Each structure stands twice: as C-alpha cells, then as structure tokens.
Amino acid sequence: MNCKFSAPSCPYVAAPMQVSCSFQAPCGLEGGDTLRQPVHEVSTDGNLSLVLSVQVADFTVDWLSLQRRTYNGEIPSRTWRVKRRDVIRLNLFNDLMLPEKTDPLNSLRFPNTTNMHTHGLHISPKVEDVVVEARPGGDLSYEYNIEENHPSGTFWFHPHVHGSTLFQLHSGMAGMIIVEDEETDPGLSQQLKSVSCPFNCEHDIQLIFQPTLLYSNVKNAYKFASMQDDIEDGIDNLANYIVASTGKTFKDWISNDANGISYFTTNGQLKPTLNIMTGQLKRFRLSKFFEKISNSQKT
C-alpha cells in the first residue's frame, strides 16, 4: 500500500521513536548494523611487517561510547593473513603511558604493561617469552617464521602479561591470524575452495566474538566495571556521570543486572546483520576471544 498519513484509508503508523540516550539518561542497546569485516594485513613476497600501537581509544555502540585499551584504536584488531614460509615481523609499541598498578603476584595488576602472544601458531617459545614485557612507553619486536609444514587455519593473538591478560583481552585487545590454504592441501575440497580466501575471499566470513560489553549478569570478577575498579583505572570515567532518574552513577546503572548490558560483540559490533542468499555457501571462521563465561550472556 502506498499511502500518506493524510489519506483517510491509511492505518495509523507511529513515527519511529527518536531515542536520544546518554550517560545521564541511559537506555538499552540495539545494535543491528550490517556486519563489518576486519581489515586484513596481507603478506607480500614472503613478508608481513606489522606495527601495533597499544593505545586508549573510543569504543562506541549506539549512543554508548567507552574508552578501551586497543591495538591501533581498533576492536577487534586487524587480521594477519599469511602463507607458509612467510616471516611476520612485528613492532609492538606500548603507548598507554598511564600510571602502573603493581599489586602482589596473582592479583589483577599491570593494566598498562603489555606484550604479544600468538595463540595456536607452531613457533618456538623462545620467540615469544611471556615474561618479556613492555612497560608504558616501552616497545618489543617479534619475528615469527611460519614453517613449511604449518597447518593452514584460523588462529589469534592477544597480550599475555601475567596479571592483566584477562583485563586487556576484555578491553578489546585481540585479532585473528589466518594461515592460508594452498592449492595442494589434501583437505581443500573444490567446495571449500569456492568459498575460501585467498581464492574466493568474498565468501570467507570472519566472526570474532569478544567480551567487550560484559557489565552485568556476570560473576563479579568478570564485570568490566569491577575489573576497572580493582585496577583503579585511570581511563574509567563512568562514575563521574550521574543518571538523572536514579541520582546514582552511570557505573551503577551499567553494572545493574536489571539493565542487561551483558553482551559479547561480533567484529566489534552488537548483534550485526549478515544477509545471505538462499543456497549460497559461505565459509565462516569463528574466534572467541575470552576464557571463562557464564551461561547468561547474550551475543
């Protein structure tokens, strides 16, 4: 029906509600934008050179804008795409430059110290010693040789400083690594090849699940605001906002189970949308960048 509001035969259709939410007048999150894919950093002539700056950046979902520790300001980080026999050279700069918190061993500590850990690559532990750390303002270099017999597949990277791994991971610091299939791989069927990068990249879809919005309905230890409290986070300003309707802080609001801010994001988005034609085959590469979770979180 093509109908105007003034026509008497028109059913009444309410105009979309213009919701303008804010830290002082918060409301639930919707999401639902078209699914984005992470940018790929692709090796050329056997080399992949990467520069990652660990820095604080805005992370925004709908009206909610939060500050997070990130790689180069991106959540998730870019995907590293390599082949067997490639060399990855990474320069990692810790640009956090925030005061450090040095609690005793085995407590949440060192939120502003970092390093790099590749998850699943077949490399020597000497290449990536997790006790080697970059303090605020420091930097580290890594060189990874992808061996000739390395399996193709989907892997990931994240920081691994003892005391802040979970905190930085939940903040958003992670990304995917793809070791490409090769024509001669015995496991590569024609059907899989028809939907896989590097042959048919448009059908090769990455879904990166991250615990970036876990503020309520989780065990206290894993609520992001609780971790920020524990760590006396210098970028945590949520307690500075007062919600007009309750007179309490925005931190109270976002941590309140009743408000339901308990989401995993997909490629840094909340409930993104992907349209697929009927009968179209796709390849999905799934990574979940978290450890322990409860059953109550939504994606």
CB of 158 to Cu ion, least distance (A): 6
Closer to Cu ion by CB, 84 or 288: give it: 288
Looking at residue 240, the DSSP 8-state letter turns out to be G
Closer of 130 and 235 to Cu ion (Cβ): 130
* Residue 21 C-beta: closest distance to Cu ion, Å: 36
When the beta carbons of 128 and 180 are compared against Cu ion, the nearer one is: 128
Least Å from the CB of residue 119 to Cu ion: 4
Between 40 and 119, whose beta carbon lies closer to Cu ion? 119
Burial letters 149-188, b for 16+ CB under 10 A, else e: ebeeeebbbbbbbebbbbbbbbbbbbbbbbbbbeeeeeee
Q: Any idea what the Cα angle at residue 265 is, between residues 264 and 269, rounded to 5°? A: 160
Please say which residue, 119 or 193, places its beta carbon nearer to Cu ion: 119
Closest approach of Cβ 52 to Cu ion, in Å?
16
| 139-145 and 175-179 beta bridge pairing | unpaired
Residue nearest to Cu ion (CB): 119
How many Å apart are CA 269 and CA 261, to the nearest integer?
14
Interface ranges with Cu ion (CB under 5 A): 119
The sign of the dihedral angle between the CA atoms of 95, 88, 291, 126 is negative
DSSP states of 153-194? EEEEEE---TTTHHHHHHHT--EEEEEPP-TT-TT--HHHHT
When the beta carbons of 115 and 206 are compared against Cu ion, the nearer one is 115
Rounded Cα–Cα distance for residues 15 and 239 (Å): 35
Shortest distance, position 17 Cβ to Cu ion, whole Å? 43
Residue 229: its H or E element: helix 224-230
User: Distance between CA 288 and CA 208 in Å, rounded?
Assistant: 6
Rounded to a whole number of angstroms, the minimum distance from the CB of residue 62 to Cu ion is 30
